[in-house]
A and B are shown apart, each in its own frame.
Chain A
Amino acid sequence: MNDALPSFVPALPEMFLAASAMVLLVLGAFQRGPHVAREIGWLGVVALAVTAALVMSFGYERKVSLYGMMVTDGFGMFMSVLTLIGAGFAIVMAMRFNEREGVARFEYPVLVLLSTTGMLMMITANDLISLYVGLELQNLALYVIASFQRDQTRSSEAGLKYFVLGALSSGMLLYGASMVYGFAGSTNFDTLAHTLEASNASIGLIIGIVFVAVGLAFKVSAVPFHMWTPDVYEGAPTPATAFFSIAPKTAALALFVRVMIYAFGELVDQWQQIIMAISVASMILGALAAINQRNIKRLMAYSSIGHVGYALIGLAAGTPAGVRGILVYMAIYVFMNIGTFGVILCMRREGRLVEGIEDLAGLARTQPMLAAALAIFMFSMAGIPPLAGFFAKFYIFMAAIDARLFWLAVLGVVTSVVGAYYYVRIVKIMYFDEPKGAFDPGIGREMQAVVLISAMVILFFIVFPSPIVGAAELASATLFPG
C-alpha cells in the first residue's frame, strides 16, 4: 500500500476550500456588475459552510493520513469549525464596510478563503513541515488583507509591519524546527511524541522548542511577541482587524496546543515555564496597556492580548481540563469579538469612520439596541456572570487550580479585575456620558444579524452551555491518547 497514492479524503475540506477560492477568483475576474464583491462574498460564505460540514463529517475519531503529515481528530474539528465560523462572519461583516469605503473588491473574500485554507492546514498539521506550509499560506494571505485598503498609508504600513515581523517569527519557527529535527531526528508529531522522554531532553532540543514556541507565540500575539498587534489592528481596515482577531488567533492557538501538548507532551515540565511566563506577561500587559487607549481598535488589540494570556493558562496547565478550558474560551472569545467588531463597524458618523472610544458617548440614548449589545459584550469580556465570558474564565481558572497553578489563577483573577475597568468604562461612556451625536443609521440587515446572533450566544450560554462545553470535552480528549 505504501507505493499507492494515499487517500486524500481527510484533506477534502482543505482541498474544497482551496478550489472554491480559485473558482471564486476566476468568477470574480470575469464577472461584471456593481455587486460582484457582495455576490462573491456570499458564495465564499457558502463555501465555508460546506467546508465546515465536511470537517464535521469526519467525527471525533483520530486519523492520521498523507504519510503522517496530517491528522483529523476531534480537537482539530472543533478548532476548524470555530475558525470557519470566524472567517464566515468576517466576510459578512466586511461587505457593507468595504462598499462604503470604496474598496468593495471581490478579492477580499477570496483572500479570506485562501488564508482560511492555510489555517485548516495548520490545525490539522501533524508534522512540523506541514505546519510551516499551512502557516505561510495563511500568513501571505493575511499580509495582503492587512494592507487591503492600499490607498491609505495606515493600512499599507500595517501590512508591511506585519510582513516584516511575521517573516522574522517564521524564521525563528523554522530555525526551531530545524533544531528539533537535529536533536530529535524527526519532524513528525507522532514520532516526537513517542520517542521524546523527559529524562533525555537535550539542551538543543529544548532550545529548538523555545524557538518553535516563540514563532507560535507571535501568531497568537502573546507578550513579548505581541508588538505588531496594536499597530496592525489599528492600521488595518476594520473588517480585516476583526478577521485577525478571530480566525488566525484560533488557528494559531490550536496549533500551539497541538505542538506543545501532543508533540512535546512528554516535556511538559520544560515548556510549561515558557507558557507561564508569556501567559503572565500577556495578562498583565493586556490589562495595563489597554487602560490608556483612546482608539477602540487598539483597545481591542490589547484586549485580545489579554485574552490570549488567559487561554494560555489552560495550556500551561497541560491537562485535558486545561485544553477543554482553551476550547471553551476560544469559542466564547470568537463570538464576543464578532459581536464587538460588529458594533465597531457600525461606528460611522456623517459618512466618516470614527474609532475613538469617546465617540461612543451617549450611544445608549441615540442607538439603545446597539449600546445594549456592546454592553453585553463588554460585560462578558470583563468576565461578569451570568454572561458567557465569565464561564470562559471559570473553566480556565478551574483547570489552573486543578493543575495546582494557584498563583497563575490568582494573577488571572487580579488582572481581569484591572481589565474590567476599561471594559466597564466603555459601558459607562455609552450610558452616562453626554451624547456626541448619533451614528449614521442603517447598519444593514446582515450586520444586525451578526450582532444579534453573537449577543444571543453570549447571553444564553448559561442556559445551553452543553453544545460548546460538551464538544470541547470530547475534542480535548482526543489530544491525550491512552
Chain B
Amino acid sequence: MTVAAIFLPLLGAFIAGFFGRWIGDRGAQIVACTGVALAAAFGVTLFVDVALDGHNVTTQLFTWLDAGDLQVQWALRFDTLSATMVAMVTVISTMVHVYSVGYMAHDSSVPRFMAYLSFFTFFMLMLVTADNFLQMFFGWEGVGLCSYLLIGFWYDRPTANAAAIKAFVVNRVGDFGFALGIFAVYALFGSLQFGAVFDAAPNFAHTPFIFLGWQVDALTVTCILLFVGAMGKSAQLGLHTWLPDAMEGPTPVSALIHAATMVTAGVFMVARLSPLFEYAPTALAVVCVIGGSTALFAASIGMAQNDIKRVIAYSTCSQLGYMFFAAGVSAYSAAIFHLMTHAFFKALLFLGAGSVIHAMSGEQDMRKMGGIWRLVPVTYVLMWIGSLALAGIPPFAGYFSKDMILEAAWASGSRVGLYAFWLGIIAAFLTAFYSWRLLFLTFHGKPRADAEVMHHVHESPKVMILPLVVLAAGAIFAGWLGYHDFVGEGRESFWRESILVLPDHASIEAAHHAPAWVGELPFAMGVLGIAVAWIAYIWRPGIPGVVARSLRPLYLFLLNKWYFDELYDALFVRPVMALGVAFWKRGDGAVIDGLGPDGVASVTSRLSVRASRLQTGYLYHYAFVMLIGVVLLVSWYLLRQIGS
C-alpha cells in the first residue's frame, strides 16, 4: 500500500505523458485523476493507520548507491510526520487534478498538463517519505523540476518562460545550500540515513567544524546550510522573489505547488530534521528571525498588489513565514498544523481566484473587477470561507493554527520569539486587511470591467466547484478537528518520535499556559483588519487613493515589492550578465573560437589556397619543385654526414 500510494501518481504521469496522444485529453484526465485519487485513498488510510493507530512502517525498496562508505537505500519512511504530509498532499492534489479537468478544458495540451501535475505529486511524495538525505534531495529537485515545467507550461509566453527560469535559478541558490548541508551531514556523521544521523546528533552538539577557514559550531553551520535550501524552496525573505512571478503558471499549479505543497517543503524539512535543529539553537534563532521577518514583509507587499493571484502569492509567502518562526521556537507541531490547515484554505483561495479569473474571461487585475458577487455566489461564499480561515477568525481552521503559533512564539520567552510574535501580530492585521481588500475589490462596489466581460461572467462548472467545496470543508473543520492531536493534549501520542523537542524548548506546552490576551490579540487584529478594509473600500472608497498619494514613497515601496527585484537585478543579474557577455564575446568568441575552431579553420583554408596555388600548371615549375626536393634531401644527408 505504501508503494502504491507513492507510485500510482508516477504511473498516471507516465501514461498521460507518453500515451496522451493515443488516449486523448479525456483519457489522460481520467488516468491522472484516478492515479492520484487512489493514492489519496491509500494516503488517508495510511494516515489513520500510521499516525492515529501508531504503526510506523518503513518500506525498503532497493539499494540506490553503494560506493565505499556511502550506502543509500530507496526507502519509504512512514511515521506521523510523513503520513500527515502524504495524506494532505494526495488529497489536495486530487482536488487540484479534478479542478484542472474543468479549468484546463480549453487548453491545447491537456495530457501534458495532467502528466506534469501527477509527476509533481510523485516527487512531492518521494520528498516527504524519504528515509535519507539523498532521497529527500531527489524529491526536492524533482518538485523543483516540475515547478519549472509547470510555471513555464504556456511556453509561448515570454513572461512565463522568464518566470520559470527565475524560479529555477533562485531555487538553485537554495539547493546549493541544501547540497552543502548534505555534504556537511555526511562529513560529520558519515551517513545519510535519517535514523543514524538523528541518533548521533546529540554527540555532535557543540562540535567545532572548520568552514571556509572559520572555526564554527558544526551543527549550526549544517542546519543553517540546510535552512538555506528550505528558504529557497519556501520563498523566504531574500530568496522569495521567484514565488510571485511563478503565478505565470496556470492557477491550479499555483494552488497545488505554490501554495499547498511544494513551497511548504522547507517547513517540512525543518520539522523532519528537528533532531538536528534542536541541537543547534543558533540555527533555530536564524529560522525564527527569517520566518518572522518574512511574515511581515510579505504581508506588507500583499497590501499594495493589484493582481489577484499575486496578493495570494504574497499571502502564501507570509504564512510560510509564520510556519518557519513556529519551527524556530521549536513548535514544529504547530508549524505542521498550520502547514496542513494552510494547505486547505490557501488551495481554496487560489482555486477560488482561478474561478473568478475563469469567470472574468482571464482578467487578473482586481482594479478591473468588482460587483460580481451576485453573479458568482458560490465562488463568493467559498472565497469568504477561505479568507476567514486565513485571517484567523474562529472557528475556521486558520484560527487554531495561527493562534497556536503566535502563543508558542510568545511563550518561548526568547528575544527572537518575541520579535517574531510582534511581527506576527502586525502581519495578522495586514493579512486580514489585504484579504478583505481582495474580497471587496473583487466582488463588491461598482463593476469596473467593460460590459462585454461582465456579460460573460458566469459561475464555474461543477467539476471546478466540487473540489472547492471539499477544500472549504477542510478550511472550516481541519483546525477544529486537528487541534487535539496536532498541538493539543494528544500531541505526545500523535507525533511520538517523528518530531523531537528538547524539554527546555517545550514552547507548545508553555503556550497552553500563556495569558488570555496573547490568544485574543491575533483575533482582535484580524477583526480590526477587516474593519479597516471595510472602511477603506466600502464605506469611504476614496481613502486608499488619499493614503497612496500622501504616503507615496511608502506606497511605491510596497507596490514595487521593496525593490527586491531591482536590487537583485543590479547586484547579481546585471553583473553576471555582463560577465557572461564578456566571456562569451571576448573569451569564447574571440579567444577560444578565434584560436580554436574558427582560427584553425581559417588558417587551414588559407593554407589550402596557398597549397593549390603551388599548382601553376607549368611543367618547369613542377620539375623545379622536384629538383628542390632532391636538393633538400641530399643536402640534409650531406650536412648530417659532415656533422657526425
Contact = CB atoms under 8 A, between A and B. Distances in A.
A224 B625 contact: yes
Given A224-B625, A225-B626, A207 B612 contact: no
Interface string A272-293: 0110010000000100111111
A160 B619 CA distance: 9
Interface string A385-420: 000000000000000000000000000000000100
A418 to B, nearest CB: 6
B626 A289 contact: no
Contacts of A277: 633
Contacts of A172: 630
Contacts of B630: 172, 210-211, 214
B572 interface: no
Given A206-B637, A224-B628, A291-B604, A161 B622 contact: yes
Contacts of A225: 626, 629
B615 A231 contact: yes
A126 interface: no
A303 to B, nearest CB: 14
Given A207-B634, A227-B621, A273-B636, A292 B629 contact: no
A210 B633 contact: yes
A160 B622 CA distance: 13
B641 interface: yes
B604 A418 contact: yes
Given A203-B638, A207-B637, A227-B626, A292 B609 contact: yes
Contacts of A335: none
B608 interface: yes
Given A291-B605, A293-B612, A169 B634 contact: no
A164 B619 CA distance: 8
A290 B604 CA distance: 11
Given A224-B628, A230-B615, A277-B633, A165 B623 contact: yes
A203 B641 contact: yes
Residue of B609, B622, B641 contacting most chain A CB atoms (<10 Å): B622
Nearest to A277: B633
Contact of A227 (B622, B636, B641): B622
Contact of A291 (B608, B622, B628): B608
B604 to A, nearest CB: 6
A292 B611 contact: yes
B536 to A, nearest CB: 68
A210 B637 contact: yes
Contacts of B628: 224
Given A210-B634, A274-B633, A289 B641 contact: no
Contacts of A288: 604, 607-608, 611
Interface in A204-218: 206-207, 210-211, 213-214, 218
Contacts of A292: 605, 608-609, 611-612
Contacts of B619: 160-161, 164-165
Contacts of A164: 619, 623
A42 interface: no
A224 B609 CA distance: 17
B623 A168 contact: yes
Given A288-B608, A289-B611, A231 B617 contact: yes
Contacts of B625: 224, 227
B632 to A, nearest CB: 8
A58 interface: no
A228 interface: yes
Residue of B614, B625, B626 contacting most chain A CB atoms (<10 Å): B626
B549 to A, nearest CB: 65
Interface residues of A, number: 34
Given A203-B638, A203-B641, A210-B637, A228 B622 contact: yes
A292 B614 CA distance: 12
Interface in B585-644: 604-605, 607-609, 611-612, 614-615, 617, 619, 621-623, 625-626, 628-630, 633-634, 636-638, 641
A168 B626 contact: yes
A289 B608 contact: yes
Contacts of A213: 633
B66 to A, nearest CB: 35
A293 B613 CA distance: 11
Contacts of A203: 637-638, 641
A226 to B, nearest CB: 9
Contacts of B611: 285, 288-289, 292
Nearest to A165: B622
A168 to B, nearest CB: 6
A179 to B, nearest CB: 11
Interface string B144-182: 000000000000000000000000000000000000000
Contacts of B617: 231
A160 B623 CA distance: 13
Contacts of A227: 614-615, 621-622, 625-626
B626 A224 contact: yes
A160 B620 CA distance: 12
A242 B277 CA distance: 82
Contacts of A418: 604
B626 A214 contact: yes
Contact of A289 (B615, B622, B623, B638): B615
Interface in A178-230: 203, 206-207, 210-211, 213-214, 218, 224-225, 227-228, 230
A198 B246 CA distance: 82
Nearest to B623: A168
B106 to A, nearest CB: 41
A407 to B, nearest CB: 18
B12 to A, nearest CB: 43
B606 to A, nearest CB: 9
A309 B412 CA distance: 85
A214 B629 contact: yes
A218 B634 contact: no
A459 B524 CA distance: 86
Interface string B18-39: 0000000000000000000000
Interface in A332-376: none
Contacts of B637: 203, 206-207, 210, 270
Interface in A77-103: none
A189 B626 CA distance: 26
B626 A165 contact: yes
Contacts of B626: 165, 168-169, 214, 218, 224-225, 227
A207 B638 CA distance: 8
Contacts of A161: 619, 622
A227 B622 CA distance: 5
Interface string A123-167: 000000000000000000000000000000000000011001100
A273 B637 CA distance: 10
A225 B637 CA distance: 18
A356 B611 CA distance: 19
A272 to B, nearest CB: 12
Contacts of A231: 615, 617
A238 B33 CA distance: 71
Residue of B614, B619, B621, B625 contacting most chain A CB atoms (<10 Å): B619
Contacts of A289: 608, 611-612, 614-615
A214 B615 contact: no
A23 B608 CA distance: 48
A17 to B, nearest CB: 31
A214 B628 CA distance: 11
A169 B629 CA distance: 12
B641 to A, nearest CB: 5
Interface in B456-515: none
A302 to B, nearest CB: 8
Contacts of A421: 604
Given A227-B626, A230-B615, 6 more contacts: A206-B641, A207-B637, A225-B626, A225-B629, A285-B611, A292-B612
6 contacts: A203-B641, A210-B634, A214-B629, A214-B630, A214-B633, A230-B615
4 tightest A-B CB contacts, nearest first: A227-B622, A289-B611, A224-B629, A291-B608
